[in-house]
Copies of this chain bind each other. A is one copy, B any other.
Amino acid sequence: MRSWWYADLTWPELRDAAASGTGVVLPIGSTEQHGPHLAVSCDVDLSSALAHAIAEENDLLVAPPITYGYRSRPLSGGGQTFPGTISVSARTLMAVVEDVLVELMRSGFKRLVLLNWHYENANFIYEAAVLARERSPHADGVRIMVVEAAFAGLSEHAMEVMFEGDFQGWDVEHAAILETSLMLHLCPEKVLFDRAVDDASARHPSYDLVPAPDDFIPASGVLWKATLATAEKGAVVWPEIVAGLAVSVAREL
């Protein structure tokens, strides 16, 4: 393929790709606060980078990413009180993903991946996949892989390298060790590491409250210790995430 970015190609190239069995991965992220040291694009940067990293091996074009995700929830993203975050409602997110899938099916693509890196998008993108298959007249033979948590299933080694025995759960890994390390590894120029802080909400229960009380939300927007991040950690873990996803895609599509 001349480029694995869908956006770079012309329609005859896309027509030929579909005809030859190439698939499409749609990166899904957010435009969401990620503390004082990471850009609001962090989630979509990571899902896009991950999509591109597997593109050639899995014969998948990377569609223009979904940059606006579902509302930030306080306990996994700091919530909707931070300026700068731009979220969409559940209905809107589902509508966009559904429409894009329907169009990809119309174009003849059969191997489709929704690749999400924003916890709050879970379930909504699954619903979009279900609705798209129901609606499309071109759904025969189409398989949609829905990856809601791309980092699930890291090896014990990777977990140890990344968290050094003090893993606090994926929900607080927002703008914290994992994401900061990956960004330091992938595009250090987008990280203002000198502004990174260690922070946490005063409490972090297993339920949610609407509206969220102040003590659910760390002032910085960092949900755990961002200063523990290093490019080296990212360099160890990223290839494992990429390889894990590539194997999964190869198995399923």
Contacts and interface: CB of A to CB of B under 8 A. Distances in A.
Range of interface residues on chain A? Answer: 35 or more
Given A11-B82, A11-B83, A130-B71, A90 B124 contact: yes
B210 A146 contact: yes
Q: By CB atoms of chain B within 10 A, which of A83, A149, A205 has the most?
A: A83
A207 B10 contact: no
A210 B82 CA distance: 26
A79 to B, nearest CB: 10
14 contacts: A11-B35, A13-B84, A14-B83, A64-B86, A68-B99, A73-B126, A88-B95, A92-B95, A95-B95, A133-B211, A143-B211, A147-B207, A153-B206, A209-B252
Nearest to A80: B106
Copies held by the complex: 6
Interface string A65-104: 0011011010000001011111111111011101110011
A186 interface: no
Given A143-B209, A143-B210, A40 B120 contact: no
Given A38-B10, A206-B149, A63 B82 contact: no
Contacts of A107: 83-86
A85 B207 CA distance: 27
Interface stretch (A1-9, A159-167, A231-239): A1-9
Contact of A11 (B12, B36, B100, B124): B36
Contacts of A120: 123
A124 B208 CA distance: 13
A20 interface: no
